[in-house]
Structure 1
Amino acid sequence: MDAFIKSPNLPEDKVTLAVVDGRVRKSIIEEMGRMGIEVIKADVCKDLYEAVQGHADMFMHHLRGKDIVIAPNAPIGTRNALSKHGFNLIEGDRVITRKYPGDIAYNVARAANYAICNKRYTDTKLLQCLHDLDIKIIDISQGYAKCSICIVNGDAFITSDEGIYKTLIKEGLDALKISPGNIELKGLDYGFIGGASGFISGDTLAFTGHLKRHPDYAAIKNFLEKHNKKIKNLDEYELMDTGTIIPLKEQKGEENC
């Protein structure tokens, strides 16, 4: 039996529903299907620039359980798919636009009791919701917070951004700094590790491609093992920034629903 994931990005059990960019490689969608994960293929938002038009982490933020804060101009098809699965869509205040910083209003890296974002440009409705849930905001200068941060658990993160890394360490959190690049994002020089990953179960972090193709594979593997996480490579190619694998539902017994 399915249940809504309580803590965004951090399922406790086997993921059964997730969102990814609908333009992702077919091999990745097929592999997720073989694992019993239903994929909502995010439609493109033509108000964003082409490279990230299908990146769900640009126009929605899973708040908790069935609640999702979503941009007023998020794609209709994606909205309908989420509603069909029983999600409560909370309309954000800010329309996302093509030019930075108008595109980062919902790009917040959420892990347990932390929300990492550029607070100045984050949607005001989303910030209010986070405040109401007593979530600590960690303010950073990097606007593409979720793209840039691979969440490992509520206290551990991987990023190639020096400023984010320093801020996380200053907050007393565990962080691994990796080299930038080596992640495909069509139309741009490269993508980011947060956008190329996401949990598919409580202990397994999936990557959209094969992690061994990244030069920092050994360091990432060791960091994940340190935090008791396994790796799942979704195909054999270079890592691909798909706007994050966003897990939304997981397998639960009736007694836990």
Structure 2
Amino acid sequence: MAGSEESILIADPRTPDCEVRVIESLGFKVVAAECLDFLYEGVKGHPDLQFAPVGDRLICHRGISKVKLRELQGHGVECVQSLSALALPYPGHVILNASIGGGALVHRTDITDGALLEEAIRQGLRLIDVRQGYGRCSTSYIGDGCFATNDRGVAAALSENGFRVFISPYGDVELEGFDYGFLGGCLSMVMAGTDRLVLVSGNLNEYVMGRELREFIKSSGAIPVEVRKGRLKDRGSVLQVFKKRN
């Protein structure tokens, strides 16, 4: 099992070294997102608020530093900056927080950034409009037409569009400064060669529906990889970004 030389993973810069080492042991290069101090403390480093990978392009929030932009471009990533800037209050900070996978973009599309919508349409993605602005936070693509989510409205919309959905109640996920975090922020589907992995930020045995979630992931043909001990923690997931193909 080895990560692709054609991709990198973007992670919260506050991710402990022990978790980063587990991810890198799979053969990936980990690049840290930035801490945006104008966001809520618990989510200020979450990649899924700052970036949205669409195919081999990466939509970046328009306030990205020149240093971080050059770093990503230095890894061969094609970056497109958002039309709008991230801002509080809600929904200004979730304009890139769409769940993307299975040929679909799942988000509250009236708030989705224009650059992200344009790229999704250009690449032929189905736009599934839901009322959940925290699209990627709440919902993670597992692969093979499968999603996992906390949100019943999102689950219904996905089912209507032919996807298989695992749904669990909100809660039992750690997130600093909040009563609980989102399931989607704990799960990250990545390709490692021909293997499809779902990185889990915690021990599924300590999650309220962990046994069922483990079986769902396996039933999709993916391999669950727990990168952290203890309860599930919402880290804004990690995002796989592929290098531009010449």
TM (norm. structure 2) is 0.91
Whole-angstrom distance in 2 between the partners of 1:172 and 1:199: 19
Larger relative contact order (Cα-Cα within 8 Å, sequence gap ≥ 6)? 1
CA distance 1:197–1:77, shift in 2 (3 Å): farther
Task: State the percentage of identical aligned residues.
Answer: 22
Tell me the number of residue pairs that the alignment of Structure 1 and Structure 2 aligns. 239
> Which residue is equivalent to 1:198?
188
Q: Deviations over 1:13-44 (max 9, x none)?
A: xxxx2111011223211211222222111111
Q: Can you give the 5+ residue segments of structure 2 that lack an aligned partner in the other structure?
A: none
Q: In the TM superposition, what is the alpha-carbon distance from 1:76 to its structure 2 partner?
A: 4.3
> Which residue is equivalent to 1:223?
216
User: What is the identity, as a one-letter code, of the residue corresponding to 1:247?
Assistant: Q
- The answer to whether structure 1 residue 55 and structure 2 residue 55 are counterparts is no
| Higher mean C-alpha deviation, range 82-91 or range 111-120 | 82-91
- The answer to whether structure 1 residue 38 and structure 2 residue 29 are counterparts is yes
Q: Deviations over 1:144-201 (max 9, x none)?
A: 0001112111521111111111111122211011121111111111111211111343
CA distance 1:154–1:116, shift in 2 (3 Å): farther
Q: Can you give the 5+ residue segments of structure 1 that lack an aligned partner in the other structure?
A: 5-16, 251-255
Structure 1 ranges of 4+ moved more than 4 A: none
| Higher mean C-alpha deviation, range 148-157 or range 241-250 | 241-250
Whole-angstrom distance in 2 between the partners of 1:218 and 1:115: 28
8 A Cα contact 1:40 1:78, kept in partner: no
Whole-angstrom distance in 2 between the partners of 1:2 and 1:230: 20
- The answer to whether structure 1 residue 2 and structure 2 residue 5 are counterparts is yes
> Which residue is equivalent to 1:12?
none
Whole-angstrom distance in 2 between the partners of 1:75 and 1:244: 21
> Which residue is equivalent to 1:20?
11
- Counterparts of 1:1-257 in structure 2, within 5 Å, are 2-4=5-7, 17-65=8-56, 67-200=57-190, 201=192, 202-249=195-242
Whole-angstrom distance in 2 between the partners of 1:77 and 1:210: 35
8 A Cα contact 1:47 1:96, kept in partner: no
Secondary structure in structure 1 of the residue aligned to 2:110: helix
Q: In the TM superposition, what is the alpha-carbon distance from 1:78 to its structure 2 partner?
A: 3.2
Q: In the TM superposition, what is the alpha-carbon distance from 1:215 to its structure 2 partner?
A: 1.1
User: What is the identity, as a one-letter code, of the residue corresponding to 1:229?
Assistant: A
| Higher mean C-alpha deviation, range 212-221 or range 46-55 | 46-55
Secondary structure in structure 2 of the residue aligned to 1:18: strand
User: What is the identity, as a one-letter code, of the residue corresponding to 2:22?
Assistant: E
Whole-angstrom distance in 2 between the partners of 1:83 and 1:216: 39
> Which residue is equivalent to 1:9?
none
CA distance 1:181–1:80, shift in 2 (3 Å): farther
CA distance 1:75–1:98, shift in 2 (3 Å): farther
Q: In the TM superposition, what is the alpha-carbon distance from 1:248 to its structure 2 partner?
A: 2.0
8 A Cα contact 1:208 1:240, kept in partner: yes
CA distance 1:154–1:124, shift in 2 (3 Å): farther
